[in-house]
Amino acid sequence: MDHETAAAPTITFDDFLKVDIRVGQIVAAEPFPEARKPAFKLTIDFGPEIGIKRSSAQITVNHTLEGLVGQQVLAVVNFPPRQIGPFISQVLTLGVPDANGDVMLIRPDRGVPVGGRLY
């Protein structure tokens, strides 16, 4: 995955509010061998308002399938679904690059209620 190092252009606070980032809990994680780049298929519970959504995440270097279930993550829940091979990714699970450029998930450092919105 290519990552830009320059800062993005300035946006307004109203622009930021358009991006709906919520905390969810991973309830299932599966291999995704059909993906072009190594990835997992995640099933994430965002609580009663958003529901259960699916996501493809290129997190195979720093995360294991066994360690993902039960973990809380942050995801953008208001992007349109995206077709990734035979899979529909409904949310964008968020991460940041480690020193090698591999994705590390963004997670709350303590358990919080699912569905909570980032602010």
- pLDDT one-digit tens code per residue, 51-90: 999 999 999 999 999 999 999 999 999 999 999 999 999 9
pLDDT above 90 coverage of the chain, percent: 94
Residues 92 and 56: their CA atoms lie apart, in Å, by 8
> Which residues lie across from 29 on neighbouring strands?
42
Residues 74 and 86: their CA atoms lie apart, in Å, by 24
Q: What's the CATH class of domain 25-105?
A: mainly beta
Above 80 in pLDDT, residue 1? Answer: no
Do 112 and 72 contact (CB within 8 A), yes or no?
A: yes
Nearest Cα to 28, choosing from 54, 48, 46?
54
Q: How far is CA 25 from the centre of its chain?
A: 11
